[in-house]
Amino acid sequence: MRASADIATAPSVIHIFITVLKRDLTLAYRRRQDLVNPMIFFIIVVSLFPLGVSPEKSFLQEAGAGVVWVAALLATLLSLDSLFKSDFEDGSLEQIVLTPQPLFIMVLAKISAHWLVTGVPLIILSPILGVMMHLEFETIKVLMLTLLLGTPVLSLVGAIGAALTVGLRVGGVLISLLILPLYIPVLIFGTGTVQAAANMLPIGGYIALMGAIFALSLTMSPLAAAAALRISLSN
């Protein structure tokens, strides 16, 4: 009797997802400076290239998409360290792992929150940077589309690295070492799409491949990150 009543009142999977998402978004809102830092970093990295390499319009048009993509990748990487860290330090991560609901759902919620607070601002900022890099209007639209498909992959795959290194002192550098090789395919297809669009070539195939990468990482990486979290918390 008691057990069945427990099951009936236990929160559903969707409810759990929304609860974790809300909690993470609230926490993020309360530490607004942490949200702004990756964005400022993003803008600074992009503006280093015209200063460091060449402010020529032809060079910027050629390299602009790649520069924006690399900067987005680094900005995401910078914010990944904090994905599980504060929850790990105050012990709430252990409570999340101990709940009877499937862990990967809560991990997916945390990743979604991470994407909403880091990935989405990068997408919104990208047209401004595109204009600064003298990209054509059509190219900027494609750049935003690739970032829309690509930044969730960055958050999803990055979560695996963050989960593997959550209890370690050397976390930050190690995440880059583990995750950057896995980011390379997204980077190649992301910039490849924009290059193709700039050269008036069809981009359907590229977009389909990026969608496939997104679908694969959406289904697999929450599971891998959940397994990695359990491993990190086991000692």
Partner 1 sequence: MWTFFHKLGSPKWFYDISGKWLPWFAVISALLLVLGSIWGLAFAPADYQQGNSFRIIYIHVPSAILAQSCFMMMAIAGATGLIWKMKLADMFVKAAAPVGASFTFMALLTGAVWGKPTWGTWWVWDARLTSMLILLFLYFGIMALQSAIEDAATAAKASAVLALVGMVNIPIIKYSVEWWNTLHQPATFTLTEKPAMPAEMWIPLLVMVIGFYCFFTTVILLRTRNEILVRERRTNWVKKLVTKRGAL
Interface with partner 1 (CB under 8 A): 157, 160, 164-165, 168, 170, 174, 177-178, 180-182, 184-185, 188, 216, 221, 224, 227-228, 231-232, 234-235
In whole angstroms, the minimum distance from the beta carbon of 27 to partner 1 comes to 26
Nearest to partner 1 of 40, 177 (CB atom): 177
In whole angstroms, the minimum distance from the beta carbon of 223 to partner 1 comes to 10
In whole angstroms, the minimum distance from the beta carbon of 161 to partner 1 comes to 8
Q: Find the helix packing angle between 137-164 and 103-114, rounded to 10°.
A: 140
In whole angstroms, the minimum distance from the beta carbon of 222 to partner 1 comes to 12
Asked whether the CA dihedral 42, 47, 50, 53 is positive or negative, the reply is: negative
Nearest to partner 1 of 126, 193 (CB atom): 193
Nearest to partner 1 of 124, 184 (CB atom): 184
Q: What is the dihedral of CA 93, 99, 104, 107, to 10 degrees?
A: -30
In whole angstroms, the minimum distance from the beta carbon of 48 to partner 1 comes to 22
Nearest to partner 1 of 76, 232 (CB atom): 232
Residue 188 C-beta-side C-alpha neighbours within 13 Å: 8
Contacts of 102 (CB under 8 A, 6+ apart): 13, 226
CA distances from residue 198 to 58, 128, 179 in whole angstroms, order as listed: 12, 17, 29
Nearest to partner 1 of 53, 173 (CB atom): 173
Structure tokens at 46: 């992009």
